[in-house]
Amino acid sequence: MAQLTLLQAINQALKEEMRRDNKVIILGEDVGLNGGVFRATEGLFQEFGEERVIDTPLAESGIIGMAIGMAMYGLRPIPEIQFMDFIYPAFEQIVNEMAKMRYRSGGQYNVPLVLRTPYGGGIRGGHYHSQSSEAYFTHTPGLKVVVPSNPYDAKGLLISSIRDNDPVLFLEPKKLYRTIKGEVPENEYIIPLGKASIPLQGDDVTVIAYGAMIPICISAAKKANEEGISTEVIDLRTLIPLDKETILNSVKKTGKVVIVYEAPKTGGFGSELSAIIAEEAIEYLEAPILRIAGLDTPYPYTLEHIYSPDPRRVYEAIKKVYNF
Amino acid sequence: MSTELIKYLDEEGNLINNYKPSLDEKKLRYLYDLMILTREFDDRGLKLQRQGRIGFYIGCKGQEASHIASAFALNDDDWIFPSYREPGILIMRKVPLYKLFCQMIGNEGDPCHGRQMPCHYSHREVNFVSISSPLATQIPHAVGASYAMKYNKEKKVAVTYFGDGSTSEGDFHVALNFAGVYKTPTIFICENNQWAISVPITKQTASESIAIKGLAYGIESFKVDGNDVFAVYEVTKKAIEKARDGGGPTLIENYTYRLGSHSSSDDATRYRSNQEYELWLKKDPIIRFEKYLLSEGIINKDYIDSQKKFAEEEINNAIKQAEKLKNPSLETLFTDVYEDIPSNLKEQMKNLIDEQKRLGESEDNSLAFPL
């Protein structure tokens, strides 16, 4: 089986889906001849032509607005926003149009599109190439929000997202684009949306995370395991719809929870996870739920390695809840 | 390219600029009938709000020629991305009138299950896309849909309607720019009714016209007397034919006037002179067209009376039929958020249904919109 980077897995999923269905169309800034600034769409322009791999003018609201119209008419557009930090000009189109079209039209129109965008820090991108703003979108009924953490999941989740009849926000952890490789089957396969995975099983502490935080959590959990703290890591893979069952089953087993996300702590998606656990499993808890998250500040430049959760910080939190 | 005002019918009902109608008498009568019916529909909509039978109304009085004569130039399979002042298109495309009143009431007969405020219709069966309250958001959608039509090699067009206020929004400019680049079969129709709630067109833009903005995006653009049925029809028809033949988009500014207030919540006398209103009342698109049809002997006084009576009866029956229906079911709160109801919503639905059984229906203490 081929060892691919996360970026190559995404590229392969896009290519296969475009070969399978000529309704699948890509549009965005620099996605054509240049293959995208991260090369996620490398080679697609050459294979499928400029009608299907569309270089757009530099206007995010236009990219998303146009993709919505295409999707309503029956195409399967995959718009790319170059960095998640640049998504805000399209915020209205995403929140008021894409997300609400099915509901407000009584199911007459749907918007089957996948909005791909790289998110997260760790690449010295400063305020505007590092943000992890998934909580704005998980707070919006009508959207599905998917965050892969490895090449295998990236391909299977992206194919599922493309075939889904609802709009999907597909957040790609850009720090992991080329830093991890994994086995990716060349044939098509899907990973259903709304199913978490458990990359590491354990009985003492549950660590819940997604996307770029997964390798960090696994590293911290392995260290904890060496110290005799049996730690389970849950990779959510999909934030909306959320696999509550996997979370609650694990919490009921361990009674101790650490939630890790790189977005600002207050109002982050991890806060929602914490609330769900408190609401539905408080009688199983043996320690306070800890959130290890980004600071409630804009994302910094020089000191980003201090800002972002790292394995040491997660490990300390695991120890803290274990020893509570 | 020119943005001089195009006009074929003057305020006295005379044809000018050597214009000869391309539509036969039967079609002209049909257009007139539609305008009469739409005017009656609009009057009654506002009255229903005043009588407390619906919560809100937003009207199209004075803009009948602008939206009806332009949409008349389309084929039924062309798509409309509307604003909220084009109910005449739904009437033209034969959506049963009572369905429109069901939407205004928000009852179980509303295809959108009472989820939106009045006048936010959606009728896929006649290619009339769902209406949004935020302005200009539909304009890039029309570009996307028409890109898809072109991609599918269909000879269809997408038409989008919006007001002068919308031309200040980013989405207007973005959409024109994208359409210009991709030469999509899109017709952009700006119904310049000169008022965005209380803000006049002179405070909306320093441009000499809306049409001139299209030229900067490489898009052929026209300014048309929007109260002139003939000018509106001919210019739109030409733009549609060009788009079908692969000639790309057109921006049309229908220069018209909002004879009513912005909505049932607004009082235009607070900011608009009576003198201006009286002036535009004389330019009413229906009166002008009626004068022409009478002078040509295409209709007579009896015909007008019978059409008005017919419109009144049709509307009365439609309202009666719509008002018989109940509120949408509780389940409709939860359907259509996604294709399938996810587990968290199923849980919320079950809890809500149990709660309403246990405590009785929640008290409806909503205030009237907006003040």
Separation between Cα atoms, residue B136 and residue B356, nearest integer Å: 39
> Which of B124, B141, B174 comes nearest A108 by C-beta?
B124
Separation between Cα atoms, residue B132 and residue B121, nearest integer Å: 9
Amino acid at B79: W
Q: What is the mean pLDDT of each run of 10 residues along chain B (371 residues)?
A: 86 97 98 98 97 96 98 98 98 98 98 98 98 97 98 98 98 98 98 97 96 97 98 98 98 98 95 97 97 98 98 98 97 98 96 96 89 54
Say what the pLDDT of residue B2 is.
57
Separation between Cα atoms, residue A267 and residue B225, nearest integer Å: 52
Q: How many domains does chain B have?
A: 2
Q: Which residues have CB under 8 Å from A287's CB, separation 6+?
A: A255, A256, A257, A320, A321, A322, A324
Separation between Cα atoms, residue A272 and residue B156, nearest integer Å: 46
What residues does CATH 3.40.50.920 cover in chain A?
197-322
DSSP state at residue A4: E
Q: What is the pLDDT of residues A274-320, one digit of tens each?
A: 999 999 999 999 999 999 999 999 999 999 999 999 999 999 999 99
DSSP state at residue A33: T
- B348–chain A Cβ distance below 8 A for any pair: no
Cα A149–A199–A292 angle (5° rounding)?
Answer: 65
Spatial CA neighbour of B197 closest among B256, B257, B266: B266
Type and span of the H or E element at A29: none
Amino acid at A79: P
Residue B130 sits in the same domain as residue B186: yes
B6 with B223: CB under 8 angstroms? yes
Contact B144 A67 (CB under 8 A): yes
Separation between Cα atoms, residue B45 and residue B260, nearest integer Å: 12
Spatial CA neighbour of B37 closest among B100, B127, B122, B84: B100
Task: Name the phi and psi angles at A175, rounded to 5.
Answer: -65, -25
CB atoms within 10 A of CB A132: 26
Separation between Cα atoms, residue B85 and residue B107, nearest integer Å: 21
A175 with A148: CB under 8 angstroms? no
Spatial CA neighbour of A109 closest among B271, B309, B97, B125: B125
Say what the pLDDT of residue A151 is.
98
Residue B206 sits in the same domain as residue B333: no
Domain A2-184 has CATH 3.40.50.970: yes
- Distances in whole angstroms, Cα of residue A125 to Cα of each of A120, A142, A297, A305: 9, 30, 15, 12
- Distances in whole angstroms, Cα of residue B307 to Cα of each of A263, B40, B86, B89, B295: 64, 11, 21, 18, 18
- B130–chain A Cβ distance below 8 A for any pair: yes
Q: Which residues have CB under 8 Å from B314's CB, separation 6+?
A: B37, B40, B97
Q: What is the CATH number of domain A197-322?
A: 3.40.50.920
Residue B253 sits in the same domain as residue B131: yes
- B342–chain A Cβ distance below 8 A for any pair: yes
- Helices (runs of H) and strands (runs of E) counted in chain A: 12, 14
- B129–chain A Cβ distance below 8 A for any pair: yes
Spatial CA neighbour of B249 closest among B170, B174, B158: B158
Residue window 227-256, chain A: list those with CB within 8 Å of chain B: 241-242, 244
Residue B92 sits in the same domain as residue B231: yes
Residue B49 sits in the same domain as residue B183: yes
What residues does CATH 3.40.50.970 cover in chain A?
2-184
Active site residue A139: no
Question: Considering B67, B120, B262, B288, which one is annotated as catalytic?
Answer: B262
Choose the mutation target among B81, B102, B188, B336 for the interface with A, i.e. most A CBs under 10 Å: B336
Residue B248 sits in the same domain as residue B342: no
Cα A113–A117–A123 angle (5° rounding)?
Answer: 170
Residue B175 sits in the same domain as residue B287: yes
Separation between Cα atoms, residue B61 and residue B7, nearest integer Å: 20
What CATH number is attached to the domain comprising B245? Answer: 3.40.50.970
How do beta strands A144-146 and A238-240 pair? antiparallel
Contact B151 A75 (CB under 8 A): yes
- A172–chain B Cβ distance below 8 A for any pair: no
Work out the end-to-end distance of chain A between its first and last CA atoms, rounded to an integer number of angstroms. 44
CB atoms within 10 A of CB B365: 5
Residue B132 sits in the same domain as residue B188: yes
Residue B186 sits in the same domain as residue B313: yes
Q: Where are the beta strands (DSSP E) in B211-259?
A: 220-225, 250-255
Last residue of a domain, one of B308, B323, B338: B323
> Which of A70, A103, A144 comes nearest B145 by C-beta?
A70
Q: Which residues have CB under 8 Å from A245's CB, separation 6+?
A: none
Say what the pLDDT of residue B116 is.
97
Q: Token digits for A215?
A: 């390798």
Residue with tokens 């720090």: A175
- A96–chain B Cβ distance below 8 A for any pair: yes
Residues of A in contact with B146 (CB under 8 A): 69
Residue B241 sits in the same domain as residue B174: yes
Domain around B288: 5-323
Q: Which residues have CB under 8 Å from B362's CB, separation 6+?
A: B356
Q: Which residues have CB under 8 Å from B51's CB, separation 6+?
A: none
Q: What is the pLDDT of residues A167-184, one digit of tens each?
A: 999 999 999 999 999 999
- B336–chain A Cβ distance below 8 A for any pair: yes
Separation between Cα atoms, residue B16 and residue A320, nearest integer Å: 87
Residue window 220-249, chain B: list those with CB within 8 Å of chain A: none
Residue window 293-322, chain A: list those with CB within 8 Å of chain B: none
Separation between Cα atoms, residue B18 and residue A219, nearest integer Å: 82
Residue with tokens 């322009």: A45
